[in-house]
Structure formats: structure tokens, C-alpha cells
Amino acid sequence: MTEYSKKRKAFLNAMGEYTKHDVAVAFSGGADSSLILKAACEEAEAYGSRVYAVTMQTELHTMEDLKTAEKVAEETGAYHIVLRINELEEAGIEMNPVNRCYLCKRLLFSRLRERVCQLGIDMILEGTNADDLKAYRPGIKAVEELGIVSPLKDAGFTKQEVRQMAAEYGISVAERPAAPCMATRFPYGTRLTKEKMLAAATGEAYIKTLGFYNVRLRVQDELVRIEVDRDRLEQVLKYKKEITDYLKRLGYRYVTLDLDGFRSGSMDLELGGKGGI
């Protein structure tokens, strides 16, 4: 049995245990939580249990993220609940503090637990994987404090293995790029506003329409730094005028291309530690 097969078996065995009763999945519509949701729905059939996909609609995520979550939840047959939360105000993260992810996750998962407790549900699953432990992810502390279970991490699944199993299940978002919250586009200590985050999200969406997969706009005052996969840097220059004109219409004065290419967590480099978002 291969290492992947062992992890797969351990994951499904655990999911079988978790779904003996009704269960909730913290659901973003990404590959990780979609795999958990799909596996939960399939395993729950044996027990007649209900699976609830709970999505948080917040100021830090785009409407595209919500639409994707709605689509995948429908594909799996899960009961879908959307919680609307203004974490900018309620979690005290307007100034983008270094522990933003912890404060935000603590608020979101506390609200999630309150909601599913009304349904008589105690078991909540979420999508942290083993690779996330290598990055700067203070939100994991909040997950652990609140007793949320991370079956992919517990089984030792890497992101690549998550995508592999999601593809085996026929999950439509198996290869969907990671979609971290829009606060990750700004340096720590920067005041976050809806307008700033909407501009960054709009700019990224436009560049993706030109055929780019991983896209981040890192915003520093009036300067925007474009990150794409390193092997696509030359392709960006073919659209130099279109991209520059579009981003300047969004309010950016200076448009630059990061020659290091896309790096997950590049705004965390100032911390002198791990990247990851």
C-alpha cells in the first residue's frame, strides 16, 4: 500500500466515524473543504446523517468565493448555511494586525459553533492540511482552541494529495487556486476598507481573464505589485498596456511586476518567518 493510499484510508475511516451523527463542515468552496464535504456526504449515507456546509460571507472574501461555495454545496447534496459576518468591525482587525488570522478565525468559528449548536451538532470539520503547518497560519490556534477537527491535517494530507483525491471524487474545484482572504494583499498595520479590498479583487479578477492561474495584487499605498507564476512573467508583459490602464482606472498610481513571481504569503516576509497566504 502506498503512502497516499494509507492516508486516504485513514481519512475515510475517520470521516466514517465523524458522520455517524449530523456534522457541520466549515465550507469555503476551496479544494480542501470541498473534499471534506464530499467525503462527509458519502460516508453519512450509511447512517442517514445530515451534513451541513456552513459558509461565512464576510468583508474579506469575494462574491465569487460565495458563488463557488453555493455551487459545490449543491453538487454534493449538503445542506448549505450562509452566515453573514462583518469581521472587520467585530473581530477588531481594521488595522490588519499580525494576529489578524487568529482574531478572525476565532470570531468566525465561534459564530459557526453557535449556529450549529442550534441544530444539535457538536462535530465541526474544517480544511487545514499538512502543508498549512509549514506556513504562518495563526488561525490554526483558534481552530484548536474551539475544538474544531481537521481531518486532512490529521491524516497527513498534503495539498497535492488533497487535489489528487478531490479529482478522484470528481469534485469540480479540485484544481481551484487557493483563495485566501483579501487582507493578505496588504502589509500588516494597513487600515483595511471595503473599497481597498474590492479594488484589489477586481484587478485580480481582470488579470485572471487574460489566462493567468495564480494572481495576487500586493498593495502598498498607491503602488500595486503584480504576482503571477514565475513561468508566466513574460506573458504579463504582452498585456502591459491593458493591465496598466485597467489598474490605474482602479486608482493605483504605480503598477509594478514582481520579478520573483507568485509567492504564497509574500506579505509575511517582513515577519522573518514562514510564508503561506
Q: What CATH number did the domain enclosing 213 receive?
A: 3.30.70.2210
Question: Given 41, 101, 104, 181, which residue is catalytic?
Answer: 181
Q: What is the mean pLDDT of residues 248-273?
A: 84
Among 12-16, 188-192, 222-226, 271-275, where is mean pLDDT lowest?
271-275
* Of the listed ranges 95-109, 133-147, 162-176, 183-197, the one predicted with least confidence: 133-147
Q: To the nearest whole percent, how much of the chain has pLDDT over 70?
A: 95
Residue 110 in domain? yes
Same domain, 156 and 197: no
End-of-domain residue from the set 111, 143, 168: 168
Q: Name 162's Cβ contacts closer than 8 Å, sequence gap at least 6.
A: 31, 32, 35, 129, 152
Structure confidence by residue, pLDDT tens digits, 157-209: 999 999 999 999 999 999 998 888 999 999 999 999 999 999 999 999 999 99
> Within 13 Å and on the Cβ side, how many CA atoms surround 137?
18
Do 155 and 213 belong to one domain?
no
Range of the domain at 211: 182-271
- Strands 215-220, 223-228: pairing kind: antiparallel
CATH number for position 156: 3.40.50.620
117 counts as catalytic: no
Q: What is the mean pLDDT of residues 50-60?
A: 95
Residue 122: its H or E element: none
- Whether residue 204 contacts residue 213, with contact meaning beta carbons closer than 8 Å, is answered with no
